[in-house]
Structure 1
Amino acid sequence: MIEDLGIRGVALVRGARHHDDRGFLRKVLVSEEARAHGLDVGVAEVVTTTNEVAGTIRGMHYQVAPSAEAKTLWVTDGALLDVLVDLRPDEPTYGQWVAVELSAGDDVALHVPTGIAHGYQTLEDDTRLTYLISTGHSPDHARTLAYDDPTVGIEWPMAPTRISVKDREGHAWPPAP
């Protein structure tokens, strides 16, 4: 089942978990179903991130054309608050953000379309994510929106414990072209 989150193209993909005496099999994403819902789930890269300390912030990341990327991600260990900011000026939700809590046990993947800045804050130590990314990473097209920009006004659940220099020095609103 696919649940829209109020920003066009941002959706939760509810998977299925099948149990038997060996454990479980988790179906994270069915491409045909996602495409029928208008989601771009092509894959150029598969990436895993590990975050050792609760409170870590990564983001707000995006890539611009011609290397704009869509992502589908899920938490494999721990929990986090995932935040998405609409950077598409032609959308009625331009400049708005939405957040969703994700955890390893919820059997949910999050789809992030192109034109959306993405970031998260870990809520537990040793939180890990896996991403399916539609386009390869291009440093020349990578951008970072300031995670703490007052114009956007993201409400993080706690003060950051760890954040990279690049993320700390992200661009102020409006987004960098």
Structure 2
Amino acid sequence: MKFIPTAVSGAFVVEIDARSDNRGMFARTFDAQSFAAQGLIPVYPQCNISQNHRRGTLRGMHYQAEPRPEVKIVRATRGKVFDVALDLRPDSPSYLKWASVELDAARHNAFYIPVGCAHGFLTLEDDCELFYQMSQAYVPELARGVRWDDPAFSIAWPFTPSVISERDAALESYSQETSL
């Protein structure tokens, strides 16, 4: 596996090292030792999937607050998405910066999103599915989010979403006092 740093401190694109032959392809997609050697969280007690029917579906920007903030490893298992990590850590060198990666099921790449970052994505084609590894169990009362289109971040989405939940559309603009 390759760990490629992004503009967000502690966020990495994770690429596989595929071995191909006449049978097809084989690759490791996760190895706790490799993650730990990079200084990354190696334990993920919860996994989730997100199915998205239509191109232009936006989910985000979500995070889980203290005392159970979460690391996410996100991978497209079907389709392509524009995936974003947004740094909400006031003490981070990349505070209020964002990084994006095109997650593509055909490339088998992933995005490691550290604690203190909000996460969201926009589907680039119909019928996308994402697989999440989560370092913490979901705690509904700690669920938080910020607007996907907040001018404080100026995320350069590839196009305007056409499908967004009422909850995500109603998220507040960012305020440091109410964050993390």
- Give the CA deviation at 1:161: 1.3
Alpha-carbon separation, structure 2, partners of 1:76 and 1:20: 21
- Give the CA deviation at 1:24: 2.7
CA contact (8 A) 1:79 1:104 kept: yes
CA contact (8 A) 2:75 2:110 kept: yes
SS at match of 1:148: coil
SS at match of 2:121: strand
TM-score by length of 1: 0.94
Alpha-carbon separation, structure 2, partners of 1:43 and 1:173: 28
CA contact (8 A) 2:9 2:93 kept: no
Moved over 6 A (4+): none
Give the residue type in structure 2 aligned to 1:16: D
Aligned residues: 177
SS at match of 2:130: strand
- Give the CA deviation at 1:72: 0.7
User: In the TM superposition, what whole-angstrom CA distance separates every residue of 1:42-78 from its partner, at most 9, and x where no partner exists?
Assistant: 1121111111101100000000111100011111111
Give the residue type in structure 2 aligned to 1:70: V
User: In the TM superposition, what whole-angstrom CA distance separates every residue of 1:126-164 from its partner, at most 9, and x where no partner exists?
Assistant: 111111100000111000111111121112111211111
CA contact (8 A) 2:54 2:127 kept: yes
Structure 2 counterpart of 1:5: 6
The sequence identity of aligned pairs, in percent, is 36
Alpha-carbon separation, structure 2, partners of 1:73 and 1:98: 14
Structure 2 counterpart of 1:151: 152
Alpha-carbon separation, structure 1, partners of 2:167 and 2:40: 29
The answer for unaligned runs of 5 or more in structure 2 is none
SS at match of 1:16: coil
SS at match of 1:35: helix
Please identify, of 114-123 and 5-14, the stretch whose mean Cα deviation from structure 2 is larger: 5-14
What's the C-alpha RMSD, in Å, of the aligned pairs?
1.3
Structure 2 counterpart of 1:133: 134
TM-score by length of 2: 0.93
